[in-house]
A and B are shown apart, each in its own frame.
Chain A
Amino acid sequence: EMQLVESGGGLVQPNGSLKLSCAASGFTFNTYDMSWVRQSPGKGLGLVAGISIKSYNYATFYADSVKGRFTISRDDSQSMVYLQMNNMKTEDTALYYCTAINPGYYVMDAWGQGASVTVSS
């Protein structure tokens, strides 16, 4: 069974930094693109960042709202994906989901339980 477990969420002050981690298991991690999707309180879903597999040179993509502030990375040897968040803003407050993107039809077919991030002074 595919499983994703996020960690690292918490309370951070504006302009502060936080790093989220996601541990993957139950599937061939190095064949899946991975992404982070967030959901602000009472709102819808929004893609934050994604990272491709080694054969695509670990290409990354970001939502415009986080470009230059967030960095996604992965460690295939540990089946881990990370989201480094810098210069955080109050509007970054959200539940952050780690997702696995199926290589066959490019949908997010596995989701973690989410990591809660609050940006507040």
Chain B
Amino acid sequence: IQLTQSPSLLSASVGDRVTLSCKGSQNINNYLAWYQQKLGEAPKLLIYKTNSLQTGIPSRFSGSGSGTDYTLTISSLHSEDLATYYCYQYNNGLTFGSGTKLEIK
């Protein structure tokens, strides 16, 4: 399964509601996770099984979707959310999306 993330680059302001998209080449059956990678750090799991928040992750992060289309939403952008976000499917093999780089205006 191939994953296409859009946009590849997103610029937003602190306080904005931000939506990132991930589209699979076939049905992912909700086996979709999101990772956050800050510069110079290892990726960190944010959300698994489409909408389950990993322990310790702020509630401003949420996930949704079904079938082939999934979304990560940040309800109110914080400056520390500057990072690249990757979706990851584990329904059929294990694959990562190409990432969305989130910049703060």
Contact = CB atoms under 8 A, between A and B. Distances in A.
Interface of B: 31, 33, 35, 37, 42-45, 48-49, 52, 54, 86, 88, 90, 93-99
Given A44-B86, A107-B45, A111-B43, 20 more contacts: A35-B94, A37-B96, A44-B97, A44-B99, A45-B37, A45-B43, A45-B86, A47-B95, A97-B42, A105-B49, A105-B52, A106-B31, A107-B88, A107-B90, A108-B43, A108-B45, A108-B88, A109-B45, A111-B44, A112-B42
Nearest to A97: B42
A15 interface: no
Interface in A66-117: 97, 102, 105-109, 111-114
Interface string A38-49: 000000111100
B59 to A, nearest CB: 19
A105 B48 contact: yes
Nearest to B86: A45
Interface residues of A, number: 19
Contact of A106 (B35, B52, B90, B95): B90
Nearest to B44: A111
B42 A111 contact: yes
B4 to A, nearest CB: 12
A112 B97 CA distance: 20
B96 A45 contact: yes
Interface in A28-71: 35, 37, 44-47, 50, 61
Contacts of A50: 94
Nearest to A112: B42
Contacts of B31: 106
Contact of B94 (A44, A47, A111): A47
A112 B42 CA distance: 7
Most buried by A among B42, B43, B52, B54: B42
19 contacts: A35-B94, A37-B96, A45-B96, A45-B99, A97-B43, A105-B48, A105-B49, A105-B52, A107-B33, A107-B45, A107-B48, A108-B45, A108-B88, A109-B45, A109-B48, A109-B54, A111-B43, A112-B42, A113-B42
